[in-house]
A and B are shown apart, each in its own frame.
Chain A
Amino acid sequence: DSGVTQTPKHLITATGQRVTLRCSPRSGDLSVYWYQQSLDQGLQFLIQYYNGEERAKGNILERFSAQQFPDLHSELNLSSLELGDSALYFCASSVQLAGGNTGELFFGEGSRLTVL
């Protein structure tokens, strides 16, 4: 158990719909990362938050958005869903090392999204 909790574990929805994925980081971790994993694209970095602020942005579509709340949990919102958005979405949290760099990531078990 990594200490990172993601809900829901599975989600099936239709094209054009909107879903929200939720992540609770490990206790004390201020950084939250979102990744998308699909068969053809591998593990793709979407976005990182640190203590409520967006810190880095990767290959995140404009239809996707995220936020980190004051209690440090994070939500990833996916809208106008397309078939190609079907994937595993992982959340990870990390510690901040001395000097401000990020240590290892601790991953949740993922949310499997199926768009029909």
Chain B
Amino acid sequence: AQSVTQPDIHITVSEGASLELRCNYSYGATPYLFWYVQSPGQGLQLLLKYFSGDTLVQGIKGFEAEFKRSQSSFNLRKPSVHWSDAAEYFCAVNNNNDMRFGAGTRLTVKP
């Protein structure tokens, strides 16, 4: 069955530390890939997307993600986390108009 997996429910990092949030998918073909961020009480905001081409994509707020076809992964990274990055992060996959979201990873940032 087609699925999107975010293995980490909750991650805590110190401010200024690097961050990597994992996302794996199970689809036959290469789907369109997205990362969204949701702050408390807010809607989901698109951080970045991958459709084709360069497998390292840059997004807003200093985030980047790398598509690795061999691992069916699309991990989100940030070199130095800011306290304002504390939020819930969702990976999403669109395969032929079937848009699915992972369960989300909650990021806590320690001072």
Nearest-CB distance from A46 to chain B (Å)?
Answer: 12
Select which of B45, B51, B100 is within 8 A of A107 by beta carbon: B45
A104 and B103: CB pair below 8 A?
Answer: no
The interface size bin for chain A is 20 to 34
B99: interface (CB < 8 Å): yes
B94: interface (CB < 8 Å): yes
- Nearest residue (CB) in B for A9 is B41
Residues from chain B with Cβ under 8 Å of A56 in the complex: 97-98
Known: A56-B97, A90-B43, A109-B42. A104 touches B104 (CB 8 A): no
- Nearest residue (CB) in B for A91 is B43
Nearest-CB distance from A76 to chain B (Å)?
Answer: 15
A49: interface (CB < 8 Å): no
Nearest-CB distance from A104 to chain B (Å)?
Answer: 5
How far apart sit A90 and B42, CA to CA, in the bound complex (Å)?
A: 10
How far apart sit A33 and B36, CA to CA, in the bound complex (Å)?
A: 16
- Nearest residue (CB) in B for A99 is B96
How far apart sit A4 and B97, CA to CA, in the bound complex (Å)?
A: 20
One digit per residue, 1 when the CB lies within 8 angstroms of any chain A CB and 0 when it does not, for chain B 80-98 equals 0000000000101010111
Residues from chain A with Cβ under 8 Å of B42 in the complex: 109-110
Residues from chain B with Cβ under 8 Å of A43 in the complex: 44, 90, 101, 104
Known: A42-B104, A90-B43, A110-B42. 13 other contacts (CB 8 A): A2-B43, A42-B103, A45-B99, A45-B101, A55-B97, A100-B97, A101-B94, A101-B96, A102-B32, A102-B94, A102-B99, A103-B49, A108-B43
